[in-house]
Amino acid sequence: MEPSILKNTISSCVNIFRHNGFDDFELLILDNASTDNSVDVIHDVLGGLPFVETTFIKSKVNHGFAKGCNILSKIAKREILYFLNNDTMSLDASEFIGLIRAGRF
């Protein structure tokens, strides 16, 4: 994946939560056996995000998106899980934040 896209995706997700007053969240990232420099980019981005609880798993096997979500859900500590694939567009952040605030998740 293009390093700048990966870096911007992670940073944007964190900033959306912080900007909307959600400070108690965790960021779980699973690298599904990438063969590029994604791991280095992820480590670089996570190092620049102080005060964010993060877990990064580097898998030797590409489990696919669905199994990767299952792996992360088993270690997640929070009630609401929001999964993003690195090549998908997320729904509008204001809609997502509204669902959380309304308890409609």
Q: Where are the domains of the chain?
A: 3-95
Give every CB contact of residue 40 below 8 A, 6+ residues apart in sequence.
none
Taking 80 as the threshold, does the pLDDT of residue 87 lie above it? no
pLDDT of residue 3: 66
**pTM listed for this prediction:** 0.80
Give every CB contact of residue 45 below 8 A, 6+ residues apart in sequence.
6, 7, 10, 11
In which band, very low, low, confident or very high, does the pLDDT at 94 lie, cut at 50, 70 and 90? Answer: confident
Taking 80 as the threshold, does the pLDDT of residue 54 lie above it? yes
